[in-house]
Structure 1
Amino acid sequence: MIKLTARQEQILNLIRDAIENTGFPPTRAEIATELGFRSANAAEEHLQALARKGAIEISPGTSRGIRLRDMGGAGSSRSGAQLSLPHPALMQLNLPLVGRVAAGSPILAQEHIETTYNVDKSLFSAIPDFLLKVRGMSMRDAGILDGDLLAVKKIDSARNGQIVVARLGDDVTVKRYKKTGSLIELLPENPDFQPIRVDLEHDDFALEGLAVGLMRSWH
């Protein structure tokens, strides 16, 4: 068992709770705000210490590139967001993988399904209905990269700040959700991309699902 300081345990629990509640780890700034640090640099120092002890893995260059590692303790991997594909012995769910989505057809239409994966349901903060292959880098700073498999639970409503799969006209996109009145903003996690603004009174918009985890095949 790896021995952590009280502060390191606190940060590790914060990361776990964020993944469990939103499917994704917090940013350094969010950790600093939550724990009262003066700057994100203080959070970074604690994260580096956790990485040296093997409690987490850090992906450089992304604000949410934090992965929990199984340290052998109870509850040490309550959510599997951003973990690689599991060992076959743990597989329990059979999830369709949705590739490119044709305009105007349901996201789970048979022609969209490229294959299926058997995965352990304990990998996710909620049981997903399907996997979506991520296209592009608009959510890079949330640790969601081109080619990743996003675990998605079908929903018809979302809370502000959650990462959703949304349909706007003929396009399906992954973004962070923000609603104010009849205006919805779909926010990227990459400064190279602009927010998408949706007017519910005029635009053809639908929520396809909520991101509840991320899978990446490591080669």
Structure 2
Amino acid sequence: MLTRRQTEVLDFIRQFAESESMPPTLHEIAKGMGFSSDNAARDHVRALARKGAIDLVEGTSRGIRLRDAGIPLIGRVAAGSPILAAENVEKRIQTQGGLFNEQPDYFLRVVGESMRDAGIMDGDLLAVKKSHEARNGQIIVARLDEDVTVKEFERRGRQVRLIAHNPEFAPIEVDLATQPLAIEGRAVGVFRSY
């Protein structure tokens, strides 16, 4: 079982490796996590290795190898925080390859019935591929001000409509000239909770 700080370090390593296509050095971990020295990063990395979260390759500055720890399940997203922030991760879910057309980067627990007619129900786990772009008709995870929502994307020039798949919910109208909208990812599948 990882401590909260170890989970944050592991998430930093994972995010760095995804964005830079290589693992971070101890110095990069220390700097990114706000540690006062590389020794603090070394202690956390060694603890992660002892607990089996990573493997260490001796004799190289980028000798951290991530083990497949599963896909993070994001619960309630804290206002203003990145979706993949450590405090949002409930647990990690192991999946088999080929389960989805695209490998998801995370699962998001669905809250509410706004997408029920698209087969996305309250409590379902939505498989999401990180992306900052979407085509009309795709179901996306969007951040609007401080809220995160799942809706169908439709854009005409500067005007965006986030469309619910339930007649009880009106579309959300967004004028990109006056209101920020961030696309966090595209839906690539769903797990039903029973």
Query: Alpha-carbon deviations, 1:86-130, whole Å to 9, x = none?
Result: xxxxxx771000011111110000000011100113111211100
Indicate the structure (1 or 2) with the bigger Cα radius of gyration. Answer: 2
Deviation of the 1:204 alpha carbon: 2.0
Name which of 105, 121, 134 aligns with 1:129.
105
Q: Which stretches of structure 1, 4 residues or longer, exceed 2 Å deviation after superposition?
A: none
The alignment covers a number of residue pairs equal to 127
Aligned-partner Cα distance in 1 for 2:96–2:190: 13
Aligned-partner Cα distance in 2 for 1:162–1:170: 22
Q: Percent identity?
A: 56
- In 2 relative to 1, CA 98–116 (structure 1 residues): closer, same or farther, beyond 3 Å? same
Deviation of the 1:148 alpha carbon: 0.1
Aligned-partner Cα distance in 1 for 2:183–2:95: 24
Contact 1:159–1:178, Cα closer than 8 Å, also in 2? yes
Give unpaired runs (5+ residues) of structure 2: 1-67
Correspondence for 2:86: 110
Aligned-partner Cα distance in 1 for 2:101–2:161: 24
- In 2 relative to 1, CA 198–126 (structure 1 residues): closer, same or farther, beyond 3 Å? same
Contact 1:93–1:119, Cα closer than 8 Å, also in 2? no
Give unpaired runs (5+ residues) of structure 1: 1-91
Secondary structure at the aligned position of 1:141 is classed as: helix
Name which of 60, 76, 97 aligns with 1:100.
76
Correspondence for 2:186: 210
Aligned-partner Cα distance in 1 for 2:94–2:121: 22
Task: Tell me how large the CA RMSD over aligned residues is.
Answer: 1.2
Contact 2:69–2:92, Cα closer than 8 Å, also in 1? no
Larger relative contact order (C-alpha < 8 A, sep ≥ 6)? 1
Contact 1:93–1:120, Cα closer than 8 Å, also in 2? no
TM-score, normalised on structure 2?
Answer: 0.64
Correspondence for 2:131: 155
Deviation of the 1:161 alpha carbon: 0.3
Correspondence for 2:174: 198
Secondary structure at the aligned position of 2:132 is classed as: coil
Secondary structure at the aligned position of 2:73 is classed as: strand
Secondary structure at the aligned position of 1:123 is classed as: coil
Secondary structure at the aligned position of 2:71 is classed as: strand
Correspondence for 1:182: 158
Secondary structure at the aligned position of 2:87 is classed as: helix
